[in-house]
Amino acid sequence: MTQGASGTTREQDLSTPKAAGLAGVVFAVLLAAAMVLARLALPEGGGGDQVQIAPGRRGELQWALELVPFAGIAFLWFMGALRQHTGDAEDRFIATVFLGSGLVFVACLFTAVAAAGTVLDAEDPNGFGRHFAYTLLTTYGMRMAAVFVLATSTIGRKLGVFPRPLVMVGTLVGLLLLVVGSNLPWSELVFPGWALLLSLYILRAARRTP
């Protein structure tokens, strides 16, 4: 019985980083695809009252809205697997910031998509709806993403589970998102890019675990 329980625990310990890595890859790919489609459909962003969907790009914007919920689900799985992997060794203050920022990011993401979908389905879309969705995602969502990246990098540095270059990249990404948000076109792609880089590292480390 002891050997069986020990074997189960060991399998769970090995599967957790793999789950985090796979969920992170799915999240990064889906969110990046949604962001690219949205940028192609709204090349000038969505913050102005006169912003119009690019000709022939309405379907791409609709696809972007469809992808985001699945990206959010993958992000929640990614976040949960990361917390499980760090376990009781994590700093409770940083862990609270990590959890809170991740949940608020998903809430902003879903609310912005719901608002954008309502505007997209309206026969006479108004500027306020577009501005609300855009501001919620860029001003608040990306800032929460920045806090999440910084908290994750801090946890990885304190526990020694992330190499120094990866921690430095995470710190730079967090500061960029915190200061710029996505006011600079395409800069929001650094968030899924960081998630993909982190996930690939986790998967590689999991494969090396004896």
Contact (Cβ atoms closer than 8 angstroms) between residue 99 and residue 92: no
pLDDT of the residue at 195: 94
Model confidence over 120-130: pLDDT tens digits?
Answer: 765 555 555 66
What whole-number percentage of the chain has pLDDT above 90?
35
Burial of 75 (0-12, 13-18, 19+ CB in 10 A): buried
Residue 149 clears pLDDT 50, i.e. is over it: yes
Cα-Cα-Cα-Cα dihedral sign, residues 50, 178, 104, 31: positive
Residue 32 clears pLDDT 90, i.e. is over it: yes
pLDDT of the residue at 12: 46
Report residue 139's pLDDT band, with 50, 70 and 90 as the boundaries: confident
pLDDT of the residue at 145: 94
Model confidence over 91-132: pLDDT tens digits?
Answer: 778 888 999 999 999 999 999 888 877 767 655 555 556 677
Residue 197 clears pLDDT 70, i.e. is over it: yes
- Distance, C-alpha 2 to centroid of its chain: 39
Report residue 71's pLDDT band, with 50, 70 and 90 as the boundaries: very high
pTM of the entire structure? 0.82
C-alpha separations of 5 from 2, 10, 23, 199 in Å = 5, 9, 26, 28
